[in-house]
Amino acid sequence: MNGDQTGADRSTLDEVPSTDRHDPAVTFRSVSISTLLAVAATVGGFYGRLILNTTRLDQNHLSMAAVFPLVLIVLFFAKPFRLTRGELIVIFCGPLIGSTMPTYFLAKIVGNFAVPYYLASPENQWAAHFDPHLPSYLVVPKGEALRWFYEGMPQGASIPWDVWIVPVFWWCTVIFALYGFSLCLTVILRKQWVVHEKIAYPLMELPLAIVEAPSKAGFFRIPVMNRPIFWLGFSLPMCVILWNIISYFTPTFPAIPWLLPDIRFGPEFPLLQAKLYPVVFGFGFFIKADLLFSLWFFNLMTTLEIGLLNRYGFKTDFPVFHNTEPLAIGAQAMGGIITFLMVGFWMGREHLRGVFRKAFKNDGNVDDSDEIMSYRVAVFGFLACGLYLAGFHYAVGMELKFLPLFMFGILILYLGITRIVAEAGTVSLRAALMPQTFGMVLTGTAGLTQRTMVSVALSYVWCSDMKTTVMPALTHGVRLFETLHTNRRKLVWPLLAAMVSGILSTFAFIIYVGYQGGAANLGGFFTGGDTWNDLVQKSLNPVGPRWKPILFMGIGASVTGLLMFIRYRFTSFPFHPVGFAAGQIYPTRDMILPYFGVWLIKVLVIRMGGIQGYRAARPFFIGIVLGHFVGASIGWVVDWIWFPGEGHNVPISDW
């Protein structure tokens, strides 16, 4: 079960030959195309989800908005325009970053800072709890401009952009600080993760296969497409999707479901969902076998644990949202994540010492020439961005006794999700505990001032329902850059261009769409009000520290520490600590069927065929993933043309 023993789990990234040092990657055309695709991915993600109501482009850490354009460019444009492999990687990184932004980040941001005065009423008591502590420069003020945004602009009127300039500016400073924080942290940890720990990055197997140098004998420019076994894998999800597209036009036509009947061990136990997600199944083949085993095993154990807690009437009595539920399980996973990250920092202490020596003393023995920015820029940028985020919320009203816990939660949230995605190849992953919940579990709410409670509510503007975040995209992009021999310093510019252009264009597009048709018609992203309802609820019902979740946090930390210790002493130990933490978190918790199925297949392939069998099977699983992405893209286009506003979702890894 431990794939490390066979060598079959070695990442293909380690076997990719680097391009020639004089083969350019960062060119005017590559950066231009990358930026345009970043804008298309983020605007298209918003348009597809909230206007077309079709397949979601922004709900996964590897989106079809990044993969499908890359396939088209490689097949039809790379040869006539002589695009180099480096340029293709730069082009791919733009939509990879852009697809993390649209709805679960930027749309939620706009909804959270626009809604307070629009939906405030005597019944919900919002104003009574946020006045006078709500900074006027962070929200859209009362008036016709706000009403028009939610209800549509009168004919002949023009968009009142002026009322948006101030709040958008201040929230952009927070977003840019968060993105800078993530980018700098990515650079600081890259060598530790890539060189010393040799993390696998399973999600990058697909783009690597697409940009692989074409073979002279094959018909297709993507070499893996010249293997018959690839087309066998490709046809399986593609045929299902094309079959189901027929039912779009003929509703009585029987569609093939993506869900099998649920399994339940008893009335107290949560449903064990049998979701048939080809993307999860395909990428699972590239996850290390012991980690893959741990994902489904601890998934099953969590289901049994929740059932036992329910059977014995265990409750935490602390309302939360955007966390893994129940709260005890989210706290348990959080404890596990904190432990393996802290142990990771300890194991990488020599590397981190070198990074800080280079940053503060310019130590000539530490080489940072292969990074996209110097360690000095990365360390001081990381500190500056982190201090800005902390200073922003302190200025808004967050008191000092809560602020360090909130910032520590931010670090654990973003770094933990990134580490799990990079190592476990989870296509979609939410938070174990949000930073706000983490802080309030430890301190309670009874001792927090009302200004702190309002600042906590405002923090949900930029840190709330985490389905995709930018840091895994940055980490994957930087990992792909590892395969290029070029001036690494230049590679930071296409990443910055994608982030800035995606943010600004999507803000403008969301505001424009709101005034044209009314944001209230776009659903809960703009009218949910969870943030402000939570403020009222917690203000009316103050509590002390939540000892039950704290206990489960300790249990998760202890189990993870024990697993890491045993694995250190016995390398063949089959239980992986990352699988323990990730297996409890939604939506990974609903992926037991594909994880179990691909684990069983991988074990059989490796035992019967060894490394040769693993490599021979690789095109089949690449085909499964690419077939699903291409099929879902076709479904998106069909909905765009024939079913605008009444689209059909082709699930990738989450409903």
The answer to whether the CB of 491 falls within 8 A of the CB of 90 is: yes
- At 462-476, the pLDDT tens digits run 998 888 899 999 999
**Residue 523's pLDDT is what?**
81
Q: How confident is the model at residue 558 (pLDDT cuts 50, 70, 90)?
A: very high
Cα dihedral across residues 597, 430, 519, 521: positive or negative? positive
Interacting residues of 301 by C-beta distance below 8 A, sequence separation 6+: 583
**Residue 467's pLDDT is what?**
82
The answer to whether the CB of 560 falls within 8 A of the CB of 340 is: yes
- At 175-222, the pLDDT tens digits run 999 999 999 999 999 999 999 999 999 999 999 999 999 988 889 999
Interacting residues of 539 by C-beta distance below 8 A, sequence separation 6+: 129, 445, 450, 453
1 has pLDDT over 60: no
Q: Which region among 88-92, 290-294, 588-592 has the lowest average model confidence (pLDDT)?
A: 588-592
- Tell me how crowded residue 492 is: count the other CB atoms within 10 A of its CB: 18
- At 504-555, the pLDDT tens digits run 999 999 999 999 999 999 988 898 888 999 999 999 999 999 999 999 999 9
Give dist(CA 548, CA 345) in Å, integer: 28
Residue-averaged pLDDT of the chain: 93
- At 26-39, the pLDDT tens digits run 999 999 999 999 99
- For the record, the structure tokens of 523 come out as 């659903």
Interacting residues of 279 by C-beta distance below 8 A, sequence separation 6+: 60, 427, 624, 625, 628, 629, 652, 653
- At 323-369, the pLDDT tens digits run 999 999 999 999 999 999 999 999 999 999 999 999 999 999 999 99
Give the CA count within 13 Å in the CB-facing half-sphere of 188.
26
**Residue 13's pLDDT is what?**
66
Q: What is the pTM of this model?
A: 0.95
- At 287-322, the pLDDT tens digits run 999 999 999 999 999 999 999 999 999 988 888 888
